[in-house]
Amino acid sequence: MPLAITPYVMSLLALAPPDSPLRRTYLPDTREGCVSPGEFRDPLGEEAHEVANGLIQSYPHKVLLLATRDCACFCRFCTRARTTGTTKCYNSRADPFWWLERRVEIRDVLVSGGDPLTLGDAEVERILRKLRAIPHLQLIRIGTKAPASLPQRITPALVKILKRYPPLWLSLHFTHPAELTPRAATACARLRDAGLPLMNQTVLLRGINDDLDTLRELNEGLLRMGVKPYYLHQGDLAAGTAHLRSTPAKGRAILRAMAGTVSGYAIPLFMRDPPGGGAKTQLPV
C-alpha cells in the first residue's frame, strides 16, 4: 500500500517519538511485506460480494457503496489495502444507483471507500442526492476519517450539504487519543451542531490502543466531543497486518475492566468481520 499523509497529520507526527502509536498507525513498516498464515488480500471477500460497480452486498437489507479508493491518509491496517490509492476497476459494469432503485429490500447504505469526504462538495452532493431519491432507502451512513486526519475538510459548506439529506449518520474513525486535537473537536462540533449523529469505530491495534488507559482516554475524550464510541473492531485478517493485530482476549479484558469504571456510553460493542464476508458478529465479553 502506498503512503498518503496530510500536512496536518505530519504536524502531529513531528512532535511524536519515533515509535509512537500515531506514527505506527500512519507510517509504513517493513513487516507489511510479511504475509502470515490465514491472512488474505481481500479478507472480507468483498470482490465476491460485488453486485454493481463499487457496490458490495454482504447483508440482506444493506449495502456498502465504495465511492472512492482514496483517503486523506492511508492507515497501515487498512482492510482494503489491495485497492487503496489505485485505479483498479471493479468486475461489474452495472451502475450502483440503477441496481439500488430495483432492489426494494435494501433499506440501508453505507457510503465508504477510501474516504468519501475526500471527494469534492459537488460529488458528495451528487451521491447523496441520488441515494435520497430512492424511496425505499431509509438510512444513509457515511464512513469517514476526515475529522481525525483532515479536520479542515469539515467546512461550513460541506456541513450544509450533509444537512440537506437526513437522516444521515456519520461513522468516524478515531484510533488513538493523540487524534483528539482542538481542530478535530471543532470539526466534530460543526457536524454535531448541524444535527448529524456521530458514531466512532476503533480498530483494536497491538501496542497502539490495546490497553485500558488508552481506550478509556480515547472513548471518554470522544464523548466530550459529542461522539459515541460505537464499535471496537477486532483487526481484520488483511495481508501484512499481523504486527498490528491484537487479540480478542486482549479486547475482552479491556472492555471488562472498563465496565463500572466509565460511563456505559464510553463502552463500545466488540465486533469482528468473519473472513470471506458475511454479517458482522459481536464477540462475547
Q: Where are the domains of the chain?
A: 7-282
Please provide the size of the chain in residues: 285
- pLDDT value, residue 278: 72
Categorize the per-residue pLDDT at 82 as very low, low, confident or very high, splitting at 50, 70 and 90: confident
- pLDDT value, residue 15: 87
pLDDT averaged over every residue in the chain: 94
The conformation of residue 248, written as its DSSP 8-state character, comes to: H
**Reduced to 3 states, what is the DSSP secondary structure of residue 56?**
strand
- pLDDT value, residue 92: 55
The conformation of residue 10, written as its DSSP 8-state character, comes to: H
Whether the pLDDT of residue 90 is over 70: the answer is no
User: Could you tell me which of 175, 167, 174 has the C-alpha nearest to residue 138?
Assistant: 167
**DSSP 3-state percent helix, strand, coil across the chain (nearest 5):** 35, 20, 50
Whether the pLDDT of residue 282 is over 60: the answer is yes
- Cα separation, 196 vs 284, whole angstroms: 30
- DSSP string over 70-94: --SS--TT-TTTTTTTS-PPPS--S
- In CATH, what class is 7-282? alpha beta
Average the pLDDT over 71-86 and give the result: 85
Q: What is the pTM of this model?
A: 0.94
Residue with cell 452495472: 94
Average the pLDDT over 8-22 and give the result: 94
